[in-house]
Amino acid sequence: MSPGLLLLLAAGAPGRAEEVAAPLDRSEMVEIEAGWLELRGSVVEGGEGVQARLGADLLTAERLRLDRSSGSLELWEGSWTRDGQTVRFARAELSLEGGAGLADEIDLEAGRLRLSAASLRWRASGELDARGVRLSTCTCEQPPWEVQAREVSLNERAAAWRGGVLRLCGLPVLPLPPGRFALEDRASGLLPPELGFDRDGLRVGLPFYLVAGPGADLTLTPELRTGRGARLRSEGRWAVPGGQGIARLDGGWDTVLGQARGGGSLNSGFADGPWRLAGEGSVVSDRSYLSDMGESYESRGLPWAESRLVAGWRGLRLEHDSYQALGAPTEGEPSQVQHLLGFVARSPARSLIPGLALDGGARVDLLGEGAAAWQIEPDTFLRAEADLRLAGGWSPGPLRVEPRARLAARTWTLDLPSILAQAGVDAWLPTWARLGSGLLVGEWGLRFAAAAEEGTLVAPVGEEPAWTPWSVGPAARGRLVLPGGVPLFGGGELLLQEDGLAPRLWGQARLEAWGLFAMAEPGVQDLALRYEDDALTSAVSLVRTEGLLQSRSELRLRRAAWETGYRAQLDIEGAQVLSHGPVLGWSSPCECLELASSLLWSVDRQWPAASLRLELR
């Protein structure tokens, strides 16, 4: 087909349709439908529900004018859709050859972006250039935030502005350098700044989000504390088939101490067929880093930092574990105790008789003390262990019997080994009964265990885990199913040991907006109660251990776009408030802007810590 223009005209006369073909020296074809059309020489005018198609472009308008000799199409009060982007305009002019065009007084929707401008040029390449622009992701009639810019260039991936100002609730609040706004859900770019205030003065952070791949991203945040200096915070996240993880690393120059300081953490796991790789924990440059730079009272009060790495293939496993003491050192305490390296090998379980399986394994550990995480000091110790394990179960009738046994040989620094034998058996009987209007489904059991050691194992570093010579007693576990189908879980045991009774009870429930967790055993008691619905969140927890009784509580109220609350942590044993403070937040009705603020007093700080977070969505 030779280059030409086919003009299809659908006349709006009642009960009559007309097609007119007019060849022109152009390379596009336009189809026009309208309530009425008039043909005057080379000019076509129309109105009343105009629709025009030019290739993949769709245009609608109240009125049009087509000059076939020049190949230009003018439209008034309409919309222009190309590549999923819709532009509403007061007036537009389109070149039929190449698809370039101009529009005045426009409103545009491009993905999640809403843009209005005084004028716009649509290039043949598909990119847009606009002047006198306001852009936002808000769908509200009066957007709570927008960027007002002198010029904006827009393509299918991002909108880049020049000469911008950030406006909140109609007021200009912050001049902006040249920047870009991503139209994709995951796209690299600047995030809203972070503001805070604490004993180190004003704290300002400017995060930058970087897409590192389909399942990975990185957030870099340069941070300035007026009273302590600058540092760089980083957070990387990844998700791959078989695993995911998150890593944080930060560091900088501390102007108070005159030295470089930093810390990092890792939480990751990966499994693919026979391979396994996992890591978790944290490490810091010096003992007082968390107490100086920690964001919360809980993090500043941590007594140690521990990091663990594990790599395995089938029954083989390589481990690294490091322990780092924090806080003020005490006399004779090493700065760091290292479980430097461990190698573990286990055989697959083999069935001896129906219901029982036997497997064996061995491990060798290299331990030492030192300030460097991977440094092997001269006083390094070697620990070795080999064991056999037997486990399984039978079900004679309704009864289920689960025997177990372990035989281990252990040695330190290749000294004379000790032999540890452990054995036990559990018997469980399922039961069910009506309890009021609910159904109680559970198991009653009897547990027995015994252990004996031949030879004395003296550990030069740390302490070996304690083992109990014998224990015996009843146990129970089950769930109560209420008429609404909501279960309550619970269980417990009452074991008699060499040093007396060792009871343990636990329970948890979720009833509509209510949640309950309780656990009690010798030395530790934990209770947590929570209520949460659309208007209220209330939670309180109690933790009691030897010499410690603490409480955490939280109250949040939500009404319309506002959320307010208060949180506190109390040392009941010492009659002291450890930390407390209010929180206040606001979200726009169209969910494109969120403001969150907090003010927190802590017992280890003279001044409260204040923070303000702005999130544009």
Interval 459-509: pLDDT, tens: 766 666 678 899 999 999 998 887 776 778 999 999 999 888 999 999 998
Separation CA 410–CA 363 (nearest Å): 10
Per DSSP, what are the bridge partners of residue 312?
276, 317
Q: Using the predicted structure, report yes or no on whether residue 228 has a pLDDT greater than 70.
A: yes
Percentage of the chain exceeding pLDDT 70: 88
Q: Using the predicted structure, report yes or no on whether residue 548 has a pLDDT greater than 80.
A: yes
Mean pLDDT check: name the lowest of 23-27, 283-287, 314-318, 512-516. Answer: 23-27
Mean pLDDT of 26-30: 54
Per DSSP, what are the bridge partners of residue 439?
434, 481
- Whether 82 maps to a domain, the answer reads yes
DSSP per-residue letters across 489-538: EEEEEEEEETTEEEEEEEEEEEETTEEEEEEEETTEEEEEEEEE-SSEEE
Give the residue from 177, 200, 219 where a domain finishes: 177
What's this model's pTM, rounded to 2 decimal places? 0.75
- CATH label of the domain that carries residue 160: 2.60.450.10
Confidence tier at 195 by pLDDT (50, 70, 90): confident
- The count of domains in the chain is 2
Give the residue from 123, 144, 177 where a domain finishes: 177
Q: Which of the residue ranges 5-19, 82-96, 140-154 has the most confident prediction, judged by mean pLDDT?
A: 140-154
- Whether 490 maps to a domain, the answer reads no
Mean pLDDT of 440-469: 84
Buried-exposed string 490-516: b where 16+ CB fall within 10 A, e elsewhere:
bbbbebeeeeeebebebebbeeeeeee
Per DSSP, what are the bridge partners of residue 598?
583, 611
Mean pLDDT of 149-153: 83
Separation CA 168–CA 170 (nearest Å): 5
Separation CA 86–CA 548 (nearest Å): 63
Separation CA 583–CA 594 (nearest Å): 13
Give the residue from 145, 177, 209 where a domain finishes: 177
Q: Which of the residue ranges 31-40, 68-77, 491-500 has the most confident prediction, judged by mean pLDDT?
A: 491-500
pLDDT value of position 76? 87
More confident residue, 602 or 87: 602
pLDDT value of position 14? 32
Mean pLDDT of 58-84: 82
Q: Tokens 């502005």, residue?
A: 161
More confident residue, 175 or 541: 541
Q: Using the predicted structure, report yes or no on whether residue 433 has a pLDDT greater than 60.
A: yes
- Whether 552 maps to a domain, the answer reads yes
Query: Mean pLDDT of all residues in the chain?
Result: 83
Q: Using the predicted structure, report yes or no on whether residue 9 has a pLDDT greater than 70.
A: no
Mean pLDDT check: name the lowest of 8-17, 211-220, 307-316. Answer: 8-17
pLDDT value of position 332? 63
Separation CA 101–CA 44 (nearest Å): 19
Q: Using the predicted structure, report yes or no on whether residue 10 has a pLDDT greater than 70.
A: no
For the segment 560-604, what is each residue's pLDDT rounded down to a tens digit?
889 999 999 999 988 999 999 999 999 888 878 888 999 999 998
- Whether 536 maps to a domain, the answer reads yes
* Residue range(s) defining the domain that contains residue 15: 7-177
Percentage of the chain exceeding pLDDT 90: 38
For the segment 382-425, what is each residue's pLDDT rounded down to a tens digit?
889 999 999 999 998 899 999 999 999 999 887 788 999 999 99
Mean pLDDT of 199-224: 90
For the segment 275-303, what is each residue's pLDDT rounded down to a tens digit?
999 999 998 888 889 888 888 888 888 88
- Whether 302 maps to a domain, the answer reads no
Q: Using the predicted structure, report yes or no on whether residue 30 has a pLDDT greater than 50.
A: yes
- Whether 505 maps to a domain, the answer reads no
- CATH label of the domain that carries residue 546: 2.40.160.10
Mean pLDDT of 321-350: 78
Mean pLDDT check: name the lowest of 2-16, 81-95, 369-383, 498-512. Answer: 2-16
For the segment 248-263, what is each residue's pLDDT rounded down to a tens digit?
999 999 999 999 999 9
